[in-house]
A and B are shown apart, each in its own frame.
Chain A
């Protein structure tokens, strides 16, 4: 699907600004952001003014704006990498595409710049196939189809809730891994989009992601903060937690999550060795989260996304709350998030 076939009015591009100077970032994305509406949310803890180049249709939100909408007490929910969730909250569009501000467009093996926005929207507009694995990956793309043995009743697929993209150059590795392999760069361009199967868990990265806001908006929860969360991805887990919730809810409601294309090119920032100490907290939390999500069954009565988030939060509090205060805080944040979502979007 080319850029011209996408209805740009259905898309908001949400950028969380953790860096003040967005000139290089936005100019590098200009060919692909042009014609789209941008929502830029400034990390409330960032002191400097944002530097945004001309030529973009953009609404900028900073701390005072956030406080006006959600109240000063709730503004802390949107600090650091979580600032982008405020953009999700106030958007009025069907699809959201969100990319970290240290990424630029990647080149495909032919040397052509990848239009990540178009690819994400294409992924979201086409069905997902979580109920049976297609060995030729995305059956709806040009030149591919369902293989022999794929049940016909499953070939219309289900709605796609999220599109998780990947990264060339600096892949989204954790601090211990990157610290060990300082020179490692991801040079492998895997030319595929696929649906992550039902019940399979995965670590969703917020670096390059898109989702159907109308379908699952409230499920993208800014909830888990590790102690000493920082301003580099190695020092966060918020997106991974959010992704676990999103996948579980999608599975429960019969939606699909895709992974693979598009790639973005991710640049150097921070020091993996420095981040090692902080990351350890995150690893422990992940270890506890996995068996929780594996065993979790949302009640049949949870039929809306909001219901699912609330039920999930309840389960987190009951089953994980005693393990770590971070989980209790996450559960509370999830409930608060749904309340905010409903009040901000009550007219829509």
Chain B
């Protein structure tokens, strides 16, 4: 059995790394009580809260946190007709937070994620680890068998080419979860009691050309490097699919990172995932995705961006065209999604004129 950490008594970190350069984006529909546990690690940072669901409801934010909050009315007001690209009644709406942020880095976390303990019992400062991951190079061109070579106590192994040891910039830091694992509905139904108790003490770069299922529960990224590609798609209300938002973003992000020579890391930090969602509800949301992903994966695996696509936006627009061309045959949803991808970029560029190509 694994338990969350007790953070009572941990002093507030006044010299928090990157506190003026990082926003924490949290989607929520109920409350933000979980922030109380994260206080020592997260209070120094600015929060962007994206309130999903009924906008007339008031979300209580614990005292002492500096935040801005957006509900559906705000999203509609700010984006106008372009608001159609932001999902409703799904945590995918969080990507609106990425768009309105003015910071270089984003950390996003779900409201049912608590602080984990490492094997020595110490509370894990997940944000601090994400920052370390992002500030340190990645090594996507050659796999290091001792995992992150830049970590204290590690290095590149014998045989690792010297010319590749400088690494590349890290765009994404993908963290993991103890306790409730991020399983799909069928697996949840078969193994309702399985808990992830294995603390794997490693960070590693996912090799170039390799896809992975990105989870948005505990994720950080460099907004300047890859922000426009972090669109979490059309999910939830009025859409035929759910629980594919973060994965869709992850596949787009990985293809673009590989194309632009950026790195994606996975592994530490762990958070403690406390709530298991209802597997029957999940199955209904995921059902179509389970079939569709059999075609989606080969699509992303063979996606080739042109030499002319040199900015994230250009790459993303190209990808959206490929989505429309190659995936619409599976379901008209993909044509809609491709259009939404374009709308997203237009909205991003409007709200972030300085980052335009």
Stretch in A18-26, A146-154, A307-315, A337-345 with 4+ CB within 8 Å of B: A146-154
Q: Is the CB of A191 within 8 A of B199?
A: yes
Interface 1/0s, chain A 200-239, versus B by CB < 8 A? 1111110000000000000000000000000001100100
- Of A146, A148, A173, A200, which contacts B158 at CB under 8 A? A173
Q: Does A55 contact B (CB under 8 A)?
A: no
Closest Cβ–Cβ distance, residue A215 to chain B (whole Å): 21
Give the residue name and chain of the A residue nearest to B187 (CB).
A145
Q: Is the CB of A143 within 8 A of B211?
A: no
Q: A181 — which chain B residues lie within 8 A by C-beta?
A: 155
Q: Is the CB of A145 within 8 A of B200?
A: no
Q: Is the CB of A290 within 8 A of B161?
A: yes
**A188-B118 Cα distance, complex, nearest whole Å:** 13
With A145-B194, A166-B146, A200-B143 as known contacts, state yes or no: A191 contacts B211, CB within 8 Å: no
Q: Does A189 contact B (CB under 8 A)?
A: yes
Stretch in B80-88, B289-297, B329-337 with 4+ CB within 8 Å of A: B289-297
- Of B143, B183, B198, which contacts A143 at CB under 8 A? B198
With A136-B181, A188-B201, A190-B202 as known contacts, state yes or no: A173 contacts B294, CB within 8 Å: no
Q: B164 — which chain A residues lie within 8 A by C-beta?
A: 290
Q: Is the CB of B266 within 8 A of A203?
A: no
- Of B119, B146, B162, B187, which contacts A287 at CB under 8 A? B162
Q: Does A140 contact B (CB under 8 A)?
A: no
Q: Does B42 contact A (CB under 8 A)?
A: no
Q: Does B67 contact A (CB under 8 A)?
A: no
Q: Does A196 contact B (CB under 8 A)?
A: yes
- How many chain A residues touch B (Cβ–Cβ < 8 Å)? 57
Q: B144 — which chain A residues lie within 8 A by C-beta?
A: 202
- Of A134, A153, A188, A201, which contacts B142 at CB under 8 A? A201
With A136-B196, A166-B146, A240-B158 as known contacts, state yes or no: A148 contacts B294, CB within 8 Å: no
Closest Cβ–Cβ distance, residue B65 to chain A (whole Å): 30
Q: Does B207 contact A (CB under 8 A)?
A: yes
Closest Cβ–Cβ distance, residue A112 to chain B (whole Å): 15
**A8-B143 Cα distance, complex, nearest whole Å:** 32
Most buried by A among B145, B184, B202, B244: B145
- How many chain B residues touch A (Cβ–Cβ < 8 Å)? 57
Most buried by A among B211, B213, B215, B286: B213
Q: A137 — which chain B residues lie within 8 A by C-beta?
A: 200
Interface 1/0s, chain B 219-259, versus A by CB < 8 A? 00000000000000000000000011001001000000000
Q: Is the CB of B212 within 8 A of A132?
A: yes
Closest Cβ–Cβ distance, residue B260 to chain A (whole Å): 18
Interface 1/0s, chain B 133-156, versus A by CB < 8 A? 000000001111111000001111
With A172-B157, A203-B160 as known contacts, state yes or no: A290 contacts B142, CB within 8 Å: yes
**A233-B159 Cα distance, complex, nearest whole Å:** 11
Q: Is the CB of B153 within 8 A of A196?
A: no
Q: Does B15 contact A (CB under 8 A)?
A: no
Closest Cβ–Cβ distance, residue B120 to chain A (whole Å): 10
With A144-B196, A199-B207, A201-B142 as known contacts, state yes or no: A149 contacts B213, CB within 8 Å: yes
**A200-B286 Cα distance, complex, nearest whole Å:** 30
Interface 1/0s, chain A 168-183, versus B by CB < 8 A? 0001111001000100
Closest Cβ–Cβ distance, residue B154 to chain A (whole Å): 7
Q: Does B55 contact A (CB under 8 A)?
A: no
- Of B163, B187, B244, B250, which contacts A146 at CB under 8 A? B187
**A135-B100 Cα distance, complex, nearest whole Å:** 29
With A136-B196, A205-B145 as known contacts, state yes or no: A148 contacts B207, CB within 8 Å: no
**A151-B202 Cα distance, complex, nearest whole Å:** 24
Q: A128 — which chain B residues lie within 8 A by C-beta?
A: none
**A282-B209 Cα distance, complex, nearest whole Å:** 27
Closest Cβ–Cβ distance, residue B185 to chain A (whole Å): 8
- Of A173, A199, A283, which contacts B155 at CB under 8 A? A173
Q: Is the CB of B158 within 8 A of A233?
A: yes
With A145-B187, A202-B143 as known contacts, state yes or no: A197 contacts B154, CB within 8 Å: no
Q: A109 — which chain B residues lie within 8 A by C-beta?
A: 119
Chain A to chain B: the 7 pairs with minimum beta-carbon distance, closest first: A149-B213, A203-B159, A240-B159, A200-B207, A202-B143, A197-B210, A133-B212
20 pairs of residues in contact across A and B, judged by CB atoms under 8 Å: A109-B119, A132-B210, A143-B194, A143-B197, A145-B191, A148-B187, A148-B213, A148-B215, A148-B286, A164-B145, A171-B157, A185-B153, A199-B207, A199-B210, A200-B210, A202-B144, A203-B145, A259-B143, A286-B161, A286-B162
**Could you list 13 further interchain pairs (A-B, Cβ under 8 angstroms) beyond the known A201-B143, A202-B142?**
A134-B213, A145-B194, A148-B286, A149-B215, A149-B247, A154-B297, A171-B155, A173-B156, A174-B156, A174-B157, A177-B155, A196-B207, A203-B158
